[in-house]
Amino acid sequence: MTSTTTSTTTSTTDAPARSFLLGLIGTDLSLSRTPPMHEAEGLAQGHPTVYRRIDVLTDRLKERTLEQLLSSALDLGFDGLNITHPFKREVVALLDEIDPVAARLGSVNTVAIRDGRTVGYNTDVTGYARGLSEQLPDVAKRSVVQVGAGGVGNAIAFALAEAGVEQLQIRDVDASRAAELAENLNTATGTSIATGGGTEGVEDAIAAADGVVNATPLGMLSHPGTSFDTSCLTPGHWVSDVVYMPVSTQLLQEARAVGCRTLDGTHMAVYQAVDAFGHFTGLAADAERMRATFQSLG
């Protein structure tokens, strides 16, 4: 009786693609376009990506501290977290390492998690700076007025200083908040670039300036209007708005009608995500692809 030996070949398959788990910690996150931008970009590069909204106003999280949320993210294997209101300053003291720009600013909106260590960055600063340099590369920056000193205004002021603005007037309905931001900026930059005050007479200040930035919520669909009377604008001004819903705010429409060069809020919104994706994954994001995702969200 003859026995037959059958030879078998074991097939090998490629290892599964590296996946990423990301999150956003803050309040009132339902309208954020950041999660789908990251998920779409990760998938486009062949890396399944899940991005979770971690809203501390929800019943299951409202009793959790920021430190507890960071600890849970580490335990669960998150690769990175975006940080938004009201935690951008609080998170600084909880991190293992902080990028020099974020350290000088005292504010972090991006936390990369690498080998169990947390590293903080501020991509609001780098995102706004990139949009300004690409869209308005040659505008005069001798004197700029920034209206709004809360939240995102902190990053905008620092980015303007880094971009070479010589004199920055920060105005806010809360004059003390504007003065505090100006003092913090001067300390961080080692200069006397900034002054702060209320909104009284802001139109006169804008009329004498090269450019103006709206860093307030005014112009959003839920907060219509402008943060100053745009009749002070001339064709020689450049105008920037951080609001991106709608893209063409009332301020930008009125500025363009006068003949001003403008910078809309989508550039900062997209580029902060582009920079954050790089920190989270170590991969270079395709900015135009992320912009396309952003725009597809309505």
Over the Cα atoms of the chain, what is R_g?
Answer: 23
- Whether 34 has a binding-site annotation, put simply, is yes
- Is the CB of residue 129 less than 8 Å from the CB of residue 274? no
- Whether 124 has a binding-site annotation, put simply, is yes
Q: Of 88, 104, 130, 237, which one is the catalytic site residue?
A: 88
- Whether 212 has a binding-site annotation, put simply, is no
- Whether 6 has a binding-site annotation, put simply, is no
Q: 20: helix, coil or strand?
A: strand
Q: Residue 96: which residues within 8 A CB-CB, separation 6 or more?
A: 117, 118, 119
- Whether 152 has a binding-site annotation, put simply, is yes
- Whether 278 has a binding-site annotation, put simply, is no
- Whether 32 has a binding-site annotation, put simply, is yes
Strands 117-121 and 143-147: unpaired
DSSP conformation letters of 103-117: HHHT--SEEEEETTE
- Whether 109 has a binding-site annotation, put simply, is yes
C-alpha 128/C-alpha 132 separation (Å) is: 6
- For residue 141, indicate whether it is catalytic: no
- Whether 196 has a binding-site annotation, put simply, is no
- Is the CB of residue 185 less than 8 Å from the CB of residue 153? no
- Whether 151 has a binding-site annotation, put simply, is yes
Task: Give percent helix, percent strand, percent coil of the chain, each to the nearest 5.
Answer: 40, 20, 40
- Whether 149 has a binding-site annotation, put simply, is yes
- Is the CB of residue 32 less than 8 Å from the CB of residue 24? yes
Residue-level length of the chain? 298
- Whether 118 has a binding-site annotation, put simply, is no
b (16+ CB within 10 A) / e for 153-187: bbbbbbbbbbeebeebbbbbeebebbbbbbebbbe
Q: What is the dihedral of CA 54, 56, 57, 63, to 10 degrees?
A: 140
- Whether 33 has a binding-site annotation, put simply, is yes
Q: Which residues are annotated as a binding site?
A: 32-34, 84, 109, 124, 148-152, 242, 244, 265, 272
Active site residues: 88
Binding-site residue numbers for NADP(+) are 148-152, 242, 265
Q: Which residues are annotated as a binding site for shikimate?
A: 32-34, 84, 109, 124, 244, 272
